[in-house]
């Protein structure tokens, strides 16, 4: 028998006997360690657009078919993420982060929704970049729309107010100055999943900040992570969460929070 003819046959059998992952490990380098700044981009900075003046200082009442999540009175619709009870401060119709007590989230879970909320940082706010009135609206407890004072405060573009945090920068910077109320209207479509746990359809979000579209049917690529890439985690309906970020600046406040299921 011609042994030369057998060489390819032996090679073929040999290659099947070795798990492909072992071959792959030897062939390719291991990925390097991710650092937080590897997922932060600063340019282009979203252009500043001055929103129209507020018609009145009072919040506009919720529509008749909305779940009123906070009407200025109490936190009965909320629970703590770290503790069963939501421990943020309610005073003069306003909800203020009680730093260190943890994020709070709605007791009720939602799928697709239209969410309205108003937020402001104190006029006396200090700090810079991410350490200046940092909070967040975390959709289904997974995907953060950033809340931050970006009035004359630069930070990485995909970490600004109205960003899908660490993913998509807002189209513009629509901030009102510290001490004035900012308004978010968020329209969110939940993802669906294949049996293997990957997205069949991605989550999508539209964010209107002070009447200006800053995210327009933006695809969310996965859960919000500080270091590394977004993860895909199968989930069902989820809460609307407000973030206790813990940055050293003064605490951020919220009012007039309501949601309509879609
Ligand atoms: Mg945040």
Q: In the chain, pLDDT over 90 holds for what percent of residues?
A: 81
- pTM of structure: 0.88
Q: What is the pLDDT of residue 261?
A: 98
Average pLDDT, the chain: 91
C-alpha–C-alpha distance, residues 143 and 205, integer Å:
10
Residue 71 CA to ligand 1 center (angstroms) comes to 23
Residue with structure tokens 């970490």? 159
pLDDT tens track for 203-243: 999 999 999 999 999 999 999 999 999 999 999 999 999 99
Mean pLDDT value of segment 124-145: 97
Residue 4 CA to ligand 1 center (angstroms) comes to 66
Residue 134 CA to ligand 1 center (angstroms) comes to 5
Q: Which two tokens stand for residue 85?
A: 């009870």
Mean pLDDT value of segment 194-210: 98
Residue 41 CA to ligand 1 center (angstroms) comes to 16
Q: What is the pLDDT of residue 13?
A: 47
Check pLDDT > 60 for residue 22: no
C-alpha angle with apex 32: 29 to 38, nearest 5 degrees?
Answer: 140
85 or 26, which is more confident? 85
Check pLDDT > 60 for residue 6: no
Mean pLDDT value of segment 30-55: 92
Q: Cis bond leading into 44, ω under 30°?
A: yes
CB count in 10 Å sphere of residue 187: 18
**Closest alpha carbon to 232 in 240, 242, 243, 221:** 221
Mean pLDDT value of segment 112-127: 97
Identify residues whose C-beta is under 5 A from ligand 1, the ion.
134, 136, 243, 245
Q: Which residues contact 196 (CB under 8 A, 6 or more apart)?
A: none
Q: Which residues contact 88 (CB under 8 A, 6 or more apart)?
A: 75, 78, 95, 96, 97, 98, 101, 104, 244
Question: In the structure, what pLDDT confidence band is assigned to residue 4 with cuts at 50, 70 and 90?
Answer: low
Q: What is the pLDDT of residue 14?
A: 47
Residue with structure tokens 């964010």? 207
Check pLDDT > 80 for residue 69: yes
């Amino acid at each position: 028998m011609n042994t030369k003819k057998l060489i390819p046959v032996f090679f073929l059998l040999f290659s099947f006997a070795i798990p492909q992952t072992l071959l792959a490990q030897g062939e390719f380098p291991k990925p390097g360690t991710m650092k937080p700044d590897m997922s932060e981009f600063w340019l282009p900075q979203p252009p500043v657009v001055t929103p129209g003046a507020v018609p009145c200082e009072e919040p506009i009442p919720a529509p008749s078919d909305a779940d009123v999540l906070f009407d200025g009175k109490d936190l009965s619709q909320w629970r703590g993420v770290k503790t069963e009870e939501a421990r943020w401060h309610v005073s003069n119709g306003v909800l203020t982060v009680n730093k260190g007590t943890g994020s709070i989230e709605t007791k009720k879970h939602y799928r697709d929704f239209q969410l309205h909320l108003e937020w402001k940082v104190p006029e006396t706010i200090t700090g810079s970049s991410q350490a200046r009135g940092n909070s967040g609206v975390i959709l289904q407890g997974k995907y953060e729309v950033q809340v931050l004072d970006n009035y004359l405060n630069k930070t990485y573009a995909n970490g600004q107010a109205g960003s899908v945090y660490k993913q998509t920068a807002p189209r513009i910077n629509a901030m009102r100055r510290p001490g004035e109320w900012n308004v978010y209207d968020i329209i969110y479509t939940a993802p669906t999943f294949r049996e293997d746990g990957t997205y069949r359809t991605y989550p999508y979000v539209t964010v209107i900040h002070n009447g200006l579209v800053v995210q327009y049917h933006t695809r969310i690529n996965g859960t919000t992570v500080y270091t590394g890439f977004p993860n895909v985690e199968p989930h069902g309906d989820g809460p609307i969460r407000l973030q206790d970020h813990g940055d050293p600046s003064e605490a951020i406040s919220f009012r007039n929070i309501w949601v309509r299921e879609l």
